[in-house]
Amino acid sequence: MDARGVSPAVEARDLKVHFSLLGGGLLKAVDGVSFEIGAGRTLGLVGESGCGKSTTGRALLGMYEPTGGEVRFEGKDIAKMSGLEKTRFTRYGQMIFQDPYSSLNPRMTVADIVGEGIDIHRIYRGRERMDRIHELLSMVGLERSHGDRFPHEFSGGQRQRIGIARALAVEPSFVVCDEPISALDVSIQSQIVNLLMDLQGRLSLTYLFISHDLSMVKYICERVAVMYLGVIVELAASDQLYRNPRHPYTRALLSAIPVADPVKERARTRVVLEGDVPSPIDPPPGCRFAGRCPVASARCAQTTPEWREIDSGHFTACWREGE
């Protein structure tokens, strides 16, 4: 339970997801992350491409089996759920995918796409099934007649609305939003985000919102976790993180957000990172960011920094914060 008295709907405890490589070795996509998401709340998960965000989201839904650690849904370890409990979990945990073009079956009508989960879980049948599909289409801003059409007949924003309707069809409580706006035009992105926020309020949904768009994350998320090379380096309330970032990697990410005011843009300091992201196949010892960090010391490259609470509800893993 967090400081606001909200019980966690989903928890990751020292979660690891490693993939075996054909030539030997392991790709450590997620390498020991811990966080919780309060019921009805939104946690943002940000970081560069390839840092493990999407893998984390899929592991939370049981799409990837953890190599280590555990995922708990409403207090239960999903790896230890019975068959009936796992079936229930696959209904109450859903995902909205990044690409609205490839995530919809082009040979199925919209009604069949939205109704597929309803059929699998046998929630509604007959006339009630179609009534539910029409209700869902209306809920996401589409028309009843759209149910008879195919995905290629819609714009990107409309396809993402179909994807959202599909996720909501089985009445989930937890939804992983895996970069749901990154493939859309800027003019459409705010519409989809506002829709997601409206649906959260109406349906009491819990969100993990994965994105690299830090300005949008600030708008929609109450707490933000910053991920780098398979680990979380900072976690805080959104306003705390954006007002006072404590990890050098977070500062670099925030400095890259464009500012509309040209005077403020010229006055601020941009943190430019040197070098490339290390390989998750052979991550470096110590702090994984040390090789690119502008303030790293010898200790950073040798010893993994401790995860500590530096302010109320504000956590980071950085040796410089302890100096």
**CATH classification of the domain holding 36:** 3.40.50.300
In the numeric block, the tokens 């370890």 are attached to 77
CA distance 127 to 134: 11
Q: Is residue 42 part of a domain?
A: yes
Query: Nearest-CA neighbor of 208 among 228, 257, 85, 217?
Result: 217
Say if 50 falls within a structural domain: yes
Residues 300, 303, 304, 307, CA torsion sign = negative
Q: Quick one: what percent of the chain has pLDDT higher than 90?
A: 77
Residue 111 domain-assigned (yes or no) = yes
Mean pLDDT confidence for 109-137? 95
Average pLDDT for residues 70-78, to the nearest whole number?
94
Tell me if 322 is assigned to some domain.
no
110 band by pLDDT with thresholds 50, 70 and 90: very high
**8: three-class secondary structure by DSSP:** strand
Q: CA–CA separation, 11 vs 7, rounded Å? A: 10
In a domain, 205, yes or no: yes
- Residues 43, 35 contacting (CB under 8 angstroms): yes
CB atoms within 10 A of CB 319: 19
Q: If you search the block for the tokens 């909501």, which residue do you land on?
A: 168
> Does any domain span residue 71?
yes
Q: Does residue 277 lie in a domain region?
A: no
Structural domains counted in the chain: 1
Rounded to the nearest integer, the mean pLDDT of the chain is 91
Look up residue 146 and give its two tokens: 């759209």
Nearest Cα residue to 117 out of 136, 143, 141, 138: 136
Grade residue 264 by pLDDT with cuts at 50, 70 and 90. low
With bands split at pLDDT 50, 70 and 90, how would you rate the model's confidence at 3?
very low
Long-range contacts of 78-86 (CB under 8 A, 24+ apart): 86/62
Local structure of 226: helix, strand or coil:
strand
Rounded mean pLDDT, 3-16: 82
What pairs with residue 311 in β-bridges? 314
Closest among 122, 68, 57 to 95, alpha carbons compared = 57
Classify burial at 82, counting beta carbons within 10 Å of its beta carbon; exposed 0-12, middle 13-18, buried 19 or more: exposed
On whether residue 209 sits in a domain, the answer given is yes
Q: Dihedral of CA 27/33/36/37: which sign?
A: negative
Local structure of residue 222 (DSSP, 8 states): S
pLDDT for position 262: 67
Q: In the numeric block, which tokens belong to residue 292?
A: 């690119």
Q: Give how far Cα 77 sits from Cα of 9, 67, 96, 223, 227, Å.
A: 12, 14, 23, 23, 23
Higher-confidence residue: 271 or 289? 289
Q: How far apart are CA 170 and CA 166, in angstroms?
A: 8
Q: 178 is in which domain, residue-wise?
A: 8-244
